[in-house]
């Protein structure tokens, strides 16, 4: 007859079964954590506005590219991984040589962090990328794998461009402001002295500008300034400098320009401004300018000498009756 077990007696354990069960539970937990980590990693890659990539240097094959590639480039990641030329074809033609040379520099430097170039995406939009790349730590004989991260910096570049424009441009006339004009003019003077090439300097002042403001109002005066600035941009040659350096005063520098040619340009500008016509209600009016012109001399050691001569010549034009050009 079987002996009954007391309710207080413990049930015999099977160590092997318990260990197997614990191992199974642990494995399930690890799988869950790995899955959760993979999902988190994928989510992070999707949200980052940068392309992570890996490239085999010997085979010229893209081994990996993150989801942002298709979003930024507008091109198929699978096509890129099948053909490295998909990357080359997307780069702006003016930047292709720099992009390729800077990629090759990683073989020497190990790290290249100052790569910036433009791409043209599938929609025809130009995007700026900051593409940092690094070479993997490898043993002798192992293949060379380059990894990198290409960040879309288009908005940053646009902001930098706008800040530069605001810092260098006269807001009203959209020509160079005084600081930027003289900064460029000093560089042009230094190059002319170094290379032994001619240089001419022009100052232009609107005649009776205060009377225009007093008679027709400041909005009309602003329009006069804008139209004269437009005339300067139209008449001057490519490479010439032009800017508003005071209230109604403009200046120009003609690199590589002999005095005779500079005078011809000043005369064309004079005629162009004389043709301008403005209206205030039923009344129409025109404007004239006085100009002072000078050219680089052997004894000139700084741009200040040219500026002083042009300024004196311009005021001589005022004293002689305005609406004329005086060379000094």
Q: Stretch 239-265: mean pLDDT, rounded?
A: 94
- 83 to each of 73, 75, 97, 112, how far by Cα in Å? 15, 12, 19, 23
Q: How many CA atoms lie within 13 A of 314 on its CB side?
A: 25
144 pLDDT band (50/70/90 cuts)?
confident
Residue 219 has pLDDT above 60, yes or no: yes
Does the annotation count 248 as an active-site position?
yes
Judge residue 97's burial from the number of C-beta atoms within 10 Å of its C-beta, 0-12 exposed, 13-18 middle, 19 or more buried: exposed
For residue range 265-316, list pLDDT tens digits in order.
Answer: 999 999 999 999 998 888 899 999 999 999 999 999 999 999 999 999 999 9
More confident position, 127 or 46: 127
Let me know how long the chain is: 328
For residue range 102-123, list pLDDT tens digits in order.
Answer: 999 998 898 998 899 999 999 9
Residue 241 has pLDDT above 70, yes or no: yes
Of 142, 248, 260, 299, the active-site residue reads: 248
User: Please, are residues 78 and 85 in contact by the beta-carbon 8 Å criterion?
Assistant: no
Question: Which pair of tokens denotes residue 31?
Answer: 């799988």
Q: How many CA atoms lie within 13 A of 22 on its CB side?
A: 6
The set of long-range contacts for 94-101, using a CB threshold of 8 Å and a minimum separation of 24, is: 94/118, 99/131
Question: Which pair of tokens denotes residue 264?
Answer: 């011809």
pLDDT at 97: 95
218 pLDDT band (50/70/90 cuts)?
very high
11 pLDDT band (50/70/90 cuts)?
very low
CB atoms within 10 A of CB 201: 30
31 pLDDT band (50/70/90 cuts)?
very low
pLDDT at 165: 84
| Domains, the chain, ordered by start | 46-160 (3.30.450.20), 169-327 (3.30.70.270)
More confident position, 179 or 3: 179
More confident position, 326 or 12: 326
191 pLDDT band (50/70/90 cuts)?
very high
The set of long-range contacts for 80-89, using a CB threshold of 8 Å and a minimum separation of 24, is: 84/55, 84/60, 87/62
């Amino acid at each position: 007859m079987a002996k009954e077990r007391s309710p207080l007696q413990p049930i015999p354990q099977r160590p092997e079964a318990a260990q197997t069960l614990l191992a199974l539970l642990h494995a399930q937990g690890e799988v869950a954590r790995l899955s959760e980590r993979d999902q988190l990693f994928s989510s992070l890659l999707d949200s980052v506005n940068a392309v992570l990539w890996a490239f085999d240097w010997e085979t010229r094959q893209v081994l990996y590219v993150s989801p942002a590639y298709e979003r930024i480039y507008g091109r198929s990641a699978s096509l890129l991984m099948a053909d490295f030329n998909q990357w080359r074809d997307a780069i702006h033609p003016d930047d292709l040589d720099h992009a390729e040379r800077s990629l090759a520099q990683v073989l020497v430097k190990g790290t290249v962090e100052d790569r910036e170039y433009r791409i043209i995406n599938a929609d025809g939009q130009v995007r700026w990328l900051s593409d940092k790349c690094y070479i993997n730590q490898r043993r002798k004989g192992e293949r060379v794998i380059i990894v990198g991260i290409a960040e879309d910096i288009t908005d940053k570049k646009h902001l930098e461009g706008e800040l530069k424009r605001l810092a260098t441009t006269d807001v009203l006339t959209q020509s160079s402001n005084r600081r930027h004009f003289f900064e460029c003019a000093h560089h042009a003077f230094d190059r002319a002295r170094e290379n032994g090439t001619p240089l001419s300097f022009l100052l232009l002042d609107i005649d009776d500008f205060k009377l225009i403001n007093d008679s027709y109002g400041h909005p009309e005066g602003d329009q006069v300034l804008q139209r004269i600035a437009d005339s300067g941009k139209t008449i001057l040659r490519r490479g010439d400098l032009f800017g508003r350096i005071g209230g109604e005063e403009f200046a120009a520098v003609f690199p590589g320009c002999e005095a005779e040619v500079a005078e011809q340009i000043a005369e064309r500008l004079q005629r162009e401004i004389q043709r301008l016509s403005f209206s205030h209600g039923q009344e129409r009016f025109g404007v004239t300018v006085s100009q002072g012109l000078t050219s680089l001399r052997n004894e000139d050691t700084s741009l200040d000498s040219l500026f002083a001569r042009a300024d004196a010549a311009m005021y001589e034009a005022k004293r002689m009756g305005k609406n004329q050009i005086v060379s000094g």
